[in-house]
Chains A and B, each alone.
Chain A
């Protein structure tokens, strides 16, 4: 690659990224998945914080020490009080008990408390109450699941971006003007792949970091690599699928083909994880370190640029 080609790759990629970021709907589509999810989570946290009850369980001073110990084993904090009912009304404790009667609010742990009291009395029935709130580390897999859903969306964006950048620029003539520059024709395909993959990877990584800050994301680093591989692979699929299509010449066929292909490869990750862990898109569901899918996605970018160049010359 000579100096002019290298400079052109940098300049054209930077210009395409600038164009992306100036497109209001593109920017919104990149920001809203993380923004909406993060906003919802933050609102939930806010509501939980606002209605958060006391951590104490009101108990009388003469409560059986064995029961006090049992309550402490559950991670609760007994607090001695004279008037159990008044303590509840004042919201100074989330539950109260004298060993026979219990007062409680909406918290699911109250089922657990009832179960303990019934057990002590030898009751025939007691509620099954495995209702502990998840800890931060227990929530991390849910954060990862959340992030994978965003990754699927960004993967589909990759197909649309790969197709759309070529089809739109073909329609308005800017692609022809670019192809008439003294550069190899693969440059136009490669810069589109680079620009779309960079933008999607950046916004996806931002989403992962945001989710990690709010609820924690299990294996966030690997998930970022799987996401980068997925968006890069999907953009390459879009570039390959676009063929000679433009917005006016019929866009829906290649788009449907590209999206079907992307979903099919993602399905490999679910059906055959041992194979899927090596493939971009599929590795989102198959796991692994994510390095090999990233390398393969880069290879797909090269293949897509070559296919684009081949088709350009034969249009």
Chain B
């Protein structure tokens, strides 16, 4: 469903010259699978997700999303995926209903108001349908963003730090929802730096460091490879002093 091969992205940083954010990344995620992309700050996780979402162009390499070549057909790629950025991504003066209905209309969903209402209801947002997004709690904003992302039934879901800023119940709800979406056959990449939540929800893990995969596999495979007992320890063993 998602196939990344030899992906490279460089940036020009005024104080450091050319910085390679992603350095030859290769990975594959199947439909129905939740792939946890871990790594310290600056490892290249968000840059990778942004390239997948066609928000940044790679310098080298190829990306195929649900059978569509991302470089040849970026709009076709965007039709098949939903990207949830780390920031809330909701205009403060619009209501959840307006945000989700707008995206449903643009995505060509039939009966957008009904679909938006049903999704927001599923996310537990019904009491806040007409509340400006700027007045919602962080957790409620996350739910609205997820409802908006799912409005066109995407085949691929890209979640950048989806539980950032949430309390424990909020995290559990979002992770349960992620798992539920994978059961529907969607390929999901979830970027996070909270090891505990990743362990609970992902099928496979990729640990990025300096723009490359330092390790990849199921949790037991990674623990065995690093000869550690927990994902936290495995992460430190792989990334070491690079943790910032």
A253 within 8 A of B: no
Cβ–Cβ < 8 Å partners of B184 in chain A: none
* A174-191 near B? 1/0 per residue, CB < 8 Å: 101101111110000000
B91-A172 in contact (CB<8A): yes
Known interface pairs A15-B98, A181-B78, A315-B56; A23-B93 also in contact (CB < 8 Å): yes
Which among A11, A173, A179, A312 is the interface contact of B88 at CB below 8 angstroms?
A173
Measured CB to CB, the closest approach of chain A to B33, in angstroms, equals 21
B199 within 8 A of A: no
A172-B106 in contact (CB<8A): no
A180-B76 in contact (CB<8A): no
A172-B88 in contact (CB<8A): yes
In angstroms, Cα B49 to Cα A173, docked, is 14
Known interface pairs A172-B91, A182-B79; A177-B85 also in contact (CB < 8 Å): yes
Cβ–Cβ < 8 Å partners of A23 in chain B: 93
* B126-158 near A? 1/0 per residue, CB < 8 Å: 000000100000000000010010000000000
B106-A181 in contact (CB<8A): yes
**Which B residue sits closest to A180, measured CB to CB?**
B83
A173-B106 in contact (CB<8A): no
B89-A181 in contact (CB<8A): no
Which among A4, A176, A313 is the interface contact of B85 at CB below 8 angstroms?
A176
B93-A11 in contact (CB<8A): no
A180-B108 in contact (CB<8A): no
Measured CB to CB, the closest approach of chain B to A226, in angstroms, equals 31
Q: Interface size of B by Cβ–Cβ distance < 8 Å? A: 34
Known interface pairs A7-B106, A11-B105, A22-B93; A182-B85 also in contact (CB < 8 Å): no
Measured CB to CB, the closest approach of chain A to B166, in angstroms, equals 15
B82 within 8 A of A: yes
Cβ–Cβ < 8 Å partners of A64 in chain B: none
B90-A174 in contact (CB<8A): yes
In angstroms, Cα B82 to Cα A157, docked, is 34
Cβ–Cβ < 8 Å partners of B55 in chain A: 176, 179-180, 312, 315
A177-B89 in contact (CB<8A): yes
A8-B83 in contact (CB<8A): no
B121 within 8 A of A: no
A15-B85 in contact (CB<8A): no
Cβ–Cβ < 8 Å partners of B102 in chain A: 11-12, 15
B177 within 8 A of A: no
Within 8 A of B (CB), among A1-39: 4, 7-8, 11-12, 15, 18-19, 22-23
**Which A residue sits closest to B103, measured CB to CB?**
A181
A119 within 8 A of B: no
**Which A residue sits closest to B152, measured CB to CB?**
A182
A314 within 8 A of B: yes
Majority SS at the chain A contact face: helix
B94-A182 in contact (CB<8A): no
Cβ–Cβ < 8 Å partners of A177 in chain B: 83-85, 89, 145, 148
Looking at B55, B83, B91, the one whose CB has the most chain A CB atoms below 10 A away is: B91
B218 within 8 A of A: no
In angstroms, Cα B92 to Cα A172, docked, is 9
Looking at A22, A171, A184, the one whose CB has the most chain B CB atoms below 10 A away is: A22
In angstroms, Cα B50 to Cα A314, docked, is 11
B57-A181 in contact (CB<8A): no
Which among B92, B93, B107 is the interface contact of A182 at CB below 8 angstroms?
B107
Cβ–Cβ < 8 Å partners of B89 in chain A: 172-174, 176-177
**Which B residue sits closest to A9, measured CB to CB?**
B106
Known interface pairs A11-B102, A181-B107; A313-B57 also in contact (CB < 8 Å): yes
* A288-315 near B? 1/0 per residue, CB < 8 Å: 0000000000000000000000001111
Which among B57, B78, B86, B91 is the interface contact of A174 at CB below 8 angstroms?
B91
B53-A180 in contact (CB<8A): yes
Measured CB to CB, the closest approach of chain A to B1, in angstroms, equals 17
Measured CB to CB, the closest approach of chain B to A177, in angstroms, equals 4
In angstroms, Cα B53 to Cα A19, docked, is 26
In angstroms, Cα B93 to Cα A23, docked, is 7
Cβ–Cβ < 8 Å partners of A98 in chain B: none
Measured CB to CB, the closest approach of chain B to A260, in angstroms, equals 22
B148-A182 in contact (CB<8A): no
B75-A183 in contact (CB<8A): yes
In angstroms, Cα B94 to Cα A23, docked, is 11
In angstroms, Cα B106 to Cα A4, docked, is 7
Measured CB to CB, the closest approach of chain B to A167, in angstroms, equals 13
A169 within 8 A of B: yes
Q: What are 7 of the A-B contact pairs (CB < 8 Å)?
A: A18-B93, A172-B87, A173-B87, A176-B89, A177-B84, A179-B55, A314-B57
| A-B contacts besides A176-B83, A184-B75, A314-B56, 9 pairs, CB < 8 Å | A12-B106, A173-B90, A174-B91, A176-B53, A176-B87, A177-B83, A179-B55, A181-B107, A313-B57
* 4 shortest interchain CB distances as A-B pairs: A173-B87, A173-B89, A22-B93, A180-B83
Q: Which residues of B contact A (CB under 8 A)?
A: 50, 53-57, 75-76, 78-79, 81-94, 98, 102-103, 105-108, 132, 145, 148
Q: Which residues of A contact B (CB under 8 A)?
A: 4, 7-8, 11-12, 15, 18-19, 22-23, 169, 171-174, 176-177, 179-184, 312-315
